[in-house]
Structure 1
Amino acid sequence: MAELCRSLNMVTIAVVTMPFTFEGKERMQIAQGAWNALVTHVDALITVHNDRVFSIIEANTSLKKAFWHVDEILREGIQAVSDLIIKPGLINVDFSDLKAIVQRAGPALLGIATAQGKDRAERAAEHAITNPLVESSIDNARRVLLNITACGDLSMIEVQRVAQVITERVHPDAKIIFGANFDSTLGKGTMKVTVVACDFEGSMQTSLIENDNDALFQRKQNTETSRTQYQNVQENSPLLKDMLGEKIKPFENLEDQPAFLRKKKRE
């Protein structure tokens, strides 16, 4: 599906999770192979490591509550990006700005944080670029979208302080798109900082690649599987047929179908 979106010139951002360590080496290798296949077919790839949930929960946190924390952090981040595009701002950020940052960017960082009181600007910025669940670091990012939201009490010096925290960490020649807006629902004294960072220097592109032969084989196998599933997209959308200009073949094998489709059919 990611490959299909890219073929239609759609901006594609994927958010994926990596297994817990206790799920075993085999499952991790499969996930790594899928990651390496997927990163070539999306514009930006945000990677969440399940193991990092332990850094945001207490010892007595229930399993259900732990997964809720993970979902909530991801929801807030994705919602923040959506709001950037939809809601007008004092310094507006639109879809073309987001596209300029994430298009063909590879691994990405998505961070959002709020802070109140003294030094809220510095604290919100620091927390936004250190998302506890995302494996990326903002260090040496070459493309950054930065947005600041407050309840009408945002000062110019606070904008400068947030920007300073970000610029000290990213690449010296980084492309930075800045936005600012007011939101009365935040509450007086609250500041929110949203950061999308991409196009990293160094080993970010290959940070999940293992050197052993099993991992190399798994990556090749997952790439071939991805191509097969793309060729067998289910014939359920006349719009896709018109855009592609050819007949789309249905899934030939039940196992080729995504899990949510198989579940829907059983119901």
Structure 2
Amino acid sequence: MKNDVAIYKLKHSQFEKDYYQYAPHMNQDDFCFYHFVGGDPNETDKLIEQLHTIKNERVLLLGIFRFPFQFEGKKRLETAIHQYYHMKEICDTVAFFHGEGMLHMIQSDTTVVEANKFFNSLEDELVEALENMVSIPGEMNIDVQDIKHFITQSDGPLFLHTIERDSFDQPLKNLISAPYLPDNYADGKQMILNIGYTQGVDMEAYRQINLRLHDMFHKADLVKLGSYYINKPGKQFKITLLVNGIEDPFPKPEHFSKTSTSTTALWFKKKWEGLFKKGKEGKSADKSSPAALTHNHHSLGQEEKA
């Protein structure tokens, strides 16, 4: 059976521009990533309203949250922590990035423009990892329902990461870890593992990498194991890890209050309801060409391209 899924990516800073364009095409089986950089207290109400607006589409909502840099001050971090918990409350799951860790990945003389492009590319890799997981068929498939069920099983944040290597002659933790990613991913409760392999991979290499991965994630239940062939020469693995149930990066603030609709948020909600009413009316008329920001509409029945 052909199983189509569209994957959308929306940024908080471009929400007014993009959501109205994409909303008429969103279906219940689709995924929507929402990206937010925390720290600005003036953006909290809009964050909450935008997330609720997307949730009304009944898509699976995955938040991508970036914590601020240390040099931005303690107050921005405190604000970001509250915003993180608001996002976690509304979204189906949240994946987070440490802004300070991103700084360790660039040279000090990198321009601000180039640095931001690089930071965005790191976050885009998370979206691409999920796209590849649901769109590339293999001997053992991981489908959309597998991932949806997995995500809704835990209220903790999500770890989603892909590594590509032709050699694993160093500890896996060194290969998987990065300063901008959660550092407690190996303590997750559940895991989906997807392993791609090229033409030269032999059974012993395949056995060894499985053993090492299972040993590293011995605390997690393996919910689904996928494998697929990459039609390329050489001996290379492409491994995607999806882990849930890890700990939050910061404790929930003692005085954190659950999402409430403020006067500003009410105004914002009424504004969006009016703007999107016309778009909703055309939703059933055209579902054939979803215009996702990632420009991908995946068919799970499509064959893998070489």
Taking structure 1 as the reference length, the TM-score comes to 0.72
> Is 2:210 the partner of 1:163?
yes
Equivalent residue in structure 1 for 2:118, among 50, 65, 69 = 69
Residues 227-249 of structure 1: CA deviation (Å, up to 9, x unaligned): 74557633314575799xxxxxx
**Which one has more relative contact order, counting CA pairs under 8 Å at least 6 apart?**
2
Q: CA deviation at 1:135?
A: 2.6
Residues 94-145 of structure 1: CA deviation (Å, up to 9, x unaligned): 111211221253311111111124x36x76x545642431235223211211
Equivalent residue in structure 1 for 2:159, among 109, 129, 134 = 109
Q: CA deviation at 1:13?
A: 1.1
> Is 2:137 the partner of 1:88?
yes
1:209: which partner in 2? 252
> Is 2:234 the partner of 1:188?
yes
Equivalent pair of 1:129/1:195 in contact (CA under 8 Å): no
Q: CA deviation at 1:220?
A: 2.9
Q: CA deviation at 1:184?
A: 3.4
Residues 173-209 of structure 1: CA deviation (Å, up to 9, x unaligned): 6143111112236x63332111111123xxx147242
Equivalent residue in structure 1 for 2:190, among 114, 133, 143 = 143
Q: CA deviation at 1:26?
A: 2.0
What is the identity, as a one-letter code, of the residue corresponding to 2:273?
A: Q
Equivalent residue in structure 1 for 2:272, among 227, 230, 233 = 233
Q: For this pair of structures, how many residues does the alignment match?
A: 230
Q: Unaligned stretches of 5+ in structure 2? A: 1-49, 284-306
Equivalent residue in structure 2 for 1:35, among 84, 100, 125 = 84
What is the aligned-residue RMSD (CA, Å)?
3.1
Change (3 A) 1:58 1:99: same
1:255: which partner in 2? none
Aligned equivalents of 2:148, 2:197: Cα separation in 1: 24
Aligned equivalents of 1:131, 1:102: Cα separation in 2: 23
Q: Which region of structure 1 is more displaced relative to structure 2, 72-81 or 42-51?
A: 72-81
Equivalent pair of 2:193/2:225 in contact (CA under 8 Å): yes
> Is 2:105 the partner of 1:52?
no
Q: CA deviation at 1:89?
A: 1.6
SS in structure 2 of the partner of residue 91 of structure 1:
coil
Q: CA deviation at 1:49?
A: 1.2
Change (3 A) 1:51 1:199: same
Change (3 A) 1:232 1:160: farther
SS in structure 1 of the partner of residue 272 of structure 2:
coil
Aligned equivalents of 2:61, 2:153: Cα separation in 1: 9
Alignment of 1:251-262 (within 5 A): none
What is the identity, as a one-letter code, of the residue corresponding to 1:234?
A: E
Equivalent residue in structure 2 for 1:134, among 176, 181, 193 = 181
Q: CA deviation at 1:74?
A: 2.0
Considering fraction of residues, name the structure with more helix: 1
Q: CA deviation at 1:9?
A: 4.4
Aligned equivalents of 1:227, 1:157: Cα separation in 2: 58
Q: Unaligned stretches of 5+ in structure 1? A: 244-267
Q: CA deviation at 1:45?
A: 0.5
SS in structure 1 of the partner of residue 113 of structure 2:
helix
Aligned equivalents of 1:37, 1:223: Cα separation in 2: 10
Residues 78-99 of structure 1: CA deviation (Å, up to 9, x unaligned): 1121111112122211111211
Aligned equivalents of 1:147, 1:221: Cα separation in 2: 36
